[in-house]
Each structure stands twice: as C-alpha cells, then as structure tokens.
Amino acid sequence: MEISQKVKQTLSKIKINKKERILVALSGGKDSTVTAYLLKKFGYNIEGFHIDLGMGEYSEKCLKAIKELCDDLKIKLYIYDIKKEMGSSMCYLRSAIQSRKSLKNCAICGVIKKWIMNKEARRLKVSKIATGHNLDDEAQTFLINIFKGSPELSANSGAISKNMQDKKFVPRIKPLFYVLENDIRKFSKKEKLPVVYESCPCALDSYRIQVREFLNTLSEKNKENIIKNSQKILSKIKKKDTKISYCKICGEPARKNICKKCELMEIKN
C-alpha cells in the first residue's frame, strides 16, 4: 500500500476530525516534514511547532528547512527558542544534567522536548500534537522494552496516545505509525521536500543504534510483522497504573510528585 493510503487509513482509524487544530512537532527531518506535508495535503487543520535546540549549524539548517516548508505550504509556524526560554542550549542543559546523572543524550533531550511540547500545545489550545514517529522507531522501542524485560512500557504505544486522560495532557498522534522509514525517505525525496537528511550530531544512544542495525538486517515484511504482532501481544499485557497527578514544581502532568523534566533538572521547590 502506498504511504498516502496508509496514513489516510491510520487517521480515519484513530478518528481525527478535519476541523480540530493539530500542532505538528517539526524537527527539520524527513519524518516530521512528511507528516506535516500529508496532513496538509489531506486537508487537516495543522500548525507547526519547532523547538530550536541551539545546537549550532545543525539547528540552523533545521530551522531553515522548516521555514521553507511552512512558507511553501502556508503553515503557521511557532518557534520555541530553548536558549531564550530556558536560558541555555540543549547541549549545555544536557552536559549539566550528565555531570550529575548517567543518562543518554536522547533520553534527556526527549524528556525536555516532550515537556515543552505539551505545555506549549496547551497554551496554544490545540486539540492534538502530531509527531513523525514511524514504524521503524516503534519497532525499535518495542524490542528495546522486551530486551530490558519491561514490555509493559510499550503497552500504551499506538497511533494515538492511550496513556494519559487528563485535561492538562494534550493527546499525541503518530500518523506514520505504520509506515516504514525507508518509504518515508523515498517519498520525501520524490516530493522534493525541504529536509535535513543528516542525523542529529547528538544522537548517541548506542543501544538504540544497535537495535536499529539489527532491525535493518530483517526484511520489511518482518519489521511490519513486529508492529502488527506487538499490538496483539500488548493488548493482553496489563497496562501500568495510569493515575496522573501534577508536578509540585511546574504543575505539568506527572506520574509522581515531581515530573521527569523537573527531576532531571533537579529544580527545587
């Protein structure tokens, strides 16, 4: 099935309404660019959101590509400049955290970006956040959780977030959930979309890279089967307790007294 068809099918399955405002998390890479491009093409009501991580030349290239995409497709774009808003670039924030905790770059960056996205999406009063996660990303995460012995961590994965039902939590959708990374790359090139193809210079999660390399030795059919069968397996796994409270420091939704971002940054109340 063609990528457009797959995405259409996913969006109708998760019942996304064409009138609701969707904020697309744009990184400058192929996945989020194709997500925005297809949502716009299908007539969804989208706006773009980019977090400028302040990572030198790489961030500058990403911002340029995103501005070009949004100009071409007439997408309203919001830019969150992490240096201005949080006082430092992601590189600095990360090194400060890593001097106290042994954590991978992406683990830190991912938590901070999610925190920003939810807070800003709520401030902008959109009804959903769309991200560019694809089938390969999801298969990697599923296998990593299996290898770690915690398959239940994947229990809430899917094309729409199922984990948090809370007025302060903006639901997330993944229109490319059933699309192979390779097909996204080919599609973005065929459509000549403005994309930064080089990888983030800070993507140093060696374990994920190892799992990705292993997955790339499998056929596309087998990758698709991992996702198809993971959904069957996960529907039988008892979900983690989904009770949500609010962070005592920043007020954002959290599973404990303090949210992951404030815990990482060791912000005291």
Q: How far is the CB of 110 from ligand SF4 (least distance, A)?
A: 5
Contacted by 105, from Zn ion, ligand SF4, none: CB < 5 to 8 Å by type = ligand SF4
In the chain, what is the straight-line distance between the N-terminal and C-terminal CA atoms, in Å? 52
Residues 213-252: x/- map of binding to Zn ion (CB under 5 A)? ----------------------------------x-xx--
Nearer to Zn ion, 199 or 245 (CB): 245
Q: How far is the CB of 135 from ligand SF4 (least distance, A)?
A: 18
Contact 173/46 with Cβ under 8 angstroms?
Answer: no
Contact call for residue 265 and Zn ion (CB under 5 A): no
For the CA atoms of the chain, what is the radius of gyration?
Answer: 18
User: Residue 46 CB: number of other CB atoms within 10 A?
Assistant: 25
Nearer to Zn ion, 135 or 259 (CB): 259
Contact 223/136 with Cβ under 8 angstroms?
Answer: yes
Contact 154/235 with Cβ under 8 angstroms?
Answer: no
DSSP string for 190-240: HTT-----SPPTT---HHHHHHHHHHTTS-HHHHHHHHHHHHHHHTTSPPP
User: Residue 109 CB: number of other CB atoms within 10 A?
Assistant: 23
Q: Which one of 69, 144, 259, 264 is in contact with Zn ion (CB under 5 A)?
A: 259
Contacted by 82, from ligand SF4, Zn ion, none: CB < 5 to 8 Å by type = none
Phi-psi sector, 187: left (phi>0), alpha (psi -120 to 50), beta: alpha
Question: By CB under 5 A, which span of 2-10, 19-27, 136-144, 257-265 interacts with Zn ion?
Answer: 257-265
Distance, in Å, from the CA atom of 198 to the CA atom of 117, rounded to the nearest integer, reads: 23
Q: Which one of 108, 262, 264, 265 is in contact with Zn ion (CB under 5 A)?
A: 262
Nearer to ligand SF4, 6 or 114 (CB): 114
108: part of which helix (H) or strand (E)? helix 105-123
Q: How far is the CB of 244 from Zn ion (least distance, A)?
A: 13
Contact call for residue 107 and Zn ion (CB under 5 A): no
Write out the residues near ligand SF4 by the rule CB under 6 A: 105-106, 109-110, 200, 202-203
Contacted by 188, from ligand SF4, Zn ion, none: CB < 5 to 8 Å by type = none
Binding site for Zn ion (CB under 5 A): 247, 249-250, 259, 262
